[in-house]
C-alpha cells in the first residue's frame, strides 16, 4: 500500500451539513424538507445574480478570466481598496490553505480559538505545521489569552468574527487593541463571512485596521447574504505583497466564469441585501422568544444562525428533527456535544422548526 505523508493521515475531514437530496434518499421522505444546517440564505440567490448568470450560461465553453479582473475592480470600488490587494477564491475557504502554505513552515505555529471554524485547523494541518488552540471565554475569542499563547515560531492567527458556530463577536476597541500588541511579523486572518448581517456600530472596522497595519488579511464571502453558496465565491483583502504570494499558490482558473459574473451583479443588489437583513433580524427575535419559552439555552447571534444547547446529546435532537424533514447541524467536532447550530430561516421555516421542537422535546 502506498503510504500518505504523516500529516495527511492526521487530518480530520470537514463535515458539511447534509444536503436535502441525501436526507430524502436515506429516510425516504416525500414531503418538503427544509435545510437549516449550512447557514444558506433562506431567500435564495440574489435576483440580479441569477439574471446575470442566465445571460452568460451560453459562454460556459470559454475559460474564465484567470485574474477575475472585472470582479476585482467591482470589489475594489465597493471596498475602497486597490484591485491588487484582492484575491478571489472558489469560496473563501479555498484561500485558507493558500495562506498556511504561503506562511507556515513545518516548524512554525498558528494560533486559533478552540471551537472556532474548523477549517483553520485543517489548513494548518495541510501545511504540516503546529497548532496552538486557545479556549473560548464566554463563547467567544479570548484575545488576551491568544496574545499570551504566541510563541517565537508563531506566524499566523485566525479569528472568525462572528465565530462559527457560536455567532459571537469581539468588538471594535478590543480588536484594535489586540492589533496594537501583535508583532508585525505575525499575519492575522480576520474571517468576516457574516459581516453583511451585522448592524451593530461597535462591530470592528477591519478596513480601518487594514489601512494602518500591514499584517491583516480580511476574508469575506458571497455564500451567505448574497445567496451564492452553490456558486462558490469568496475573497480576501491584504497588502499587495501578501496577495502576490497567495496568487502564486492558487490553481489556474480557480473561479469559474459564471460565478465571477454573478458576484459582480450581486454587489449591486442592495434591495436583496436589505430584505435578507430584515428577514434575519425578524427571525432572530421570533426564535429567541421561542427558545426561551422552550427552556433552551441559546446564544444571541451576530450572524444568520443560532447556537442552541439542548442539555442532552444533540444527535438525538438532530435525528428526530431530520425524521420530520428538518436538517440542522451537530457541532460535536467543535467541542459542543449537546448543541445544534441552526440557521435562521424564513418565517414559515422558523415556525415549522419551533412547532416540531415542541413535538419532539
Report the half-sphere exposure of 161 (CA within 13 A, side-chain side). 24
233 and 319 both lie in a single domain: no
**pLDDT value, residue 30:** 83
Taking alpha carbons only, the member of 181, 174, 171 closest to residue 150 is 181
Note whether residue 110 is domain-resident.
Answer: yes
229 and 153 both lie in a single domain: yes
Note whether residue 1 is domain-resident.
Answer: no
Is 313 in contact with 336 (CB distance < 8 Å)?
no
Distance CA 253, CA 17 (A): 27
What is the number of structural domains in the chain?
A: 2
- 113 pairs with which residues across the strands? 134
**pLDDT value, residue 13:** 77
Instruction: Write the CATH number for 338.
Output: 3.90.1150.10
Distance CA 343, CA 345 (A): 6
114 and 248 both lie in a single domain: yes
Helices (runs of H) and strands (runs of E) counted in the chain: 14, 13
305 and 278 both lie in a single domain: yes
**All three cell numbers of 165:** 458556530
Low-confidence ranges of the chain (pLDDT < 50): none
**pLDDT value, residue 29:** 86
The pTM score is: 0.96
Note whether residue 172 is domain-resident.
Answer: yes
29 and 63 both lie in a single domain: no
For residue 183, count CB atoms less than 10 angstroms from its CB and return exposed for 0-12, middle for 13-18, buried for 19 or more.
exposed
234 and 322 both lie in a single domain: no
- 46 pairs with which residues across the strands? none
Q: Which residues neighbour 293 within 8 Å (Cβ) at sequence distance 6 or greater? A: none
Instruction: Write the CATH number for 99.
Output: 3.40.640.10
41 and 51 both lie in a single domain: no
Note whether residue 97 is domain-resident.
Answer: yes
Name the domain boundary from 242, 266, 290: 266
Q: Show the domain range for 283.
A: 6-45+270-360
**pLDDT value, residue 262:** 98
**pLDDT value, residue 269:** 98
**pLDDT value, residue 12:** 79
Is 331 in contact with 39 (CB distance < 8 Å)?
no
Backbone φ and ψ of 327, nearest 5°: -95, 125
**pLDDT value, residue 27:** 85
pLDDT in tens, 82-108: 999 999 999 999 999 999 999 999 999
**pLDDT value, residue 24:** 85
Amino acid at each position: 500500500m502506498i503510504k500518505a505523508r504523516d500529516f495527511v493521515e492526521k487530518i480530520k475531514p470537514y463535515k458539511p451539513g447534509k444536503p436535502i437530496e441525501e436526507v430524502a434518499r436515506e429516510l425516504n421522505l416525500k414531503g418538503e424538507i427544509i435545510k437549516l444546517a449550512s447557514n444558506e440564505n433562506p431567500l435564495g440567490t440574489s435576483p440580479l445574480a441569477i439574471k446575470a448568470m442566465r445571460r452568460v450560461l451560453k459562454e460556459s465553453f470559454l475559460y474564465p478570466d484567470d485574474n477575475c479582473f472585472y470582479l476585482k475592480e467591482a470589489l475594489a470600488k465597493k471596498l475602497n481598496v486597490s484591485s491588487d490587494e484582492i484575491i478571489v477564491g472558489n469560496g473563501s475557504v479555498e484561500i485558507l490553505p493558500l495562506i498556511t502554505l504561503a506562511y507556515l513552515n513545518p516548524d512554525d505555529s498558528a494560533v486559533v480559538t478552540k471551537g472556532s471554524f474548523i477549517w483553520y485547523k485543517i489548513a494548518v494541518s495541510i501545511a504540516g505545521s503546529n497548532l496552538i488552540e486557545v479556549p473560548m471565554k464566554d463563547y467567544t475569542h479570548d484575545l488576551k489569552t491568544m496574545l499570551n499563547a504566541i510563541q517565537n515560531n508563531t506566524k499566523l492567527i485566525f479569528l472568525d468574527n462572528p465565530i462559527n458556530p457560536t455567532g459571537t463577536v469581539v468588538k471594535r476597541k478590543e480588536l484594535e487593541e489586540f492589533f496594537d500588541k501583535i508583532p508585525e511579523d505575525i499575519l492575522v486572518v480576520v474571517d468576516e463571512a457574516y459581516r453583511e448581517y451585522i448592524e451593530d456600530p461597535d462591530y470592528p472596522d477591519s478596513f480601518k485596521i487594514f489601512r494602518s497595519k500591514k499584517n491583516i488579511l480580511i476574508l469575506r464571502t458571497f455564500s451567505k447574504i448574497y445567496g451564492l453558496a452553490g456558486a462558490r465565491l469568496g475573497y480576501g483583502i491584504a497588502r499587495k505583497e501578501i496577495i502576490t504570494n497567495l496568487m502564486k499558490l492558487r490553481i489556474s482558473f480557480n473561479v469559474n466564469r459564471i460565478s465571477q459574473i454573478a458576484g459582480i451583479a450581486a454587489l449591486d443588489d442592495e434591495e436583496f441585501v436589505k430584505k435578507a437583513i430584515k428577514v434575519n433580524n425578524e427571525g432572530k427575535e421570533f426564535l429567541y422568544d421561542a427558545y426561551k419559552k422552550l427552556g433552551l439555552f441559546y446564544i444571541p447571534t451576530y450572524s444568520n444562525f443560532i447556537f442552541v444547547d439542548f442539555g442532552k446529546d444533540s444527535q438525538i435532537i438532530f435525528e428526530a428533527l431530520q425524521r420530520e424533514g428538518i436538517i440542522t447541524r451537530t457541532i460535536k467536532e467543535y467541542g459542543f456535544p449537546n448543541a445544534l447550530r441552526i440557521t435562521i430561516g424564513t418565517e414559515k421555516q422558523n415556525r415549522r422548526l419551533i412547532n416540531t421542537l415542541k413535538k419532539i422535546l
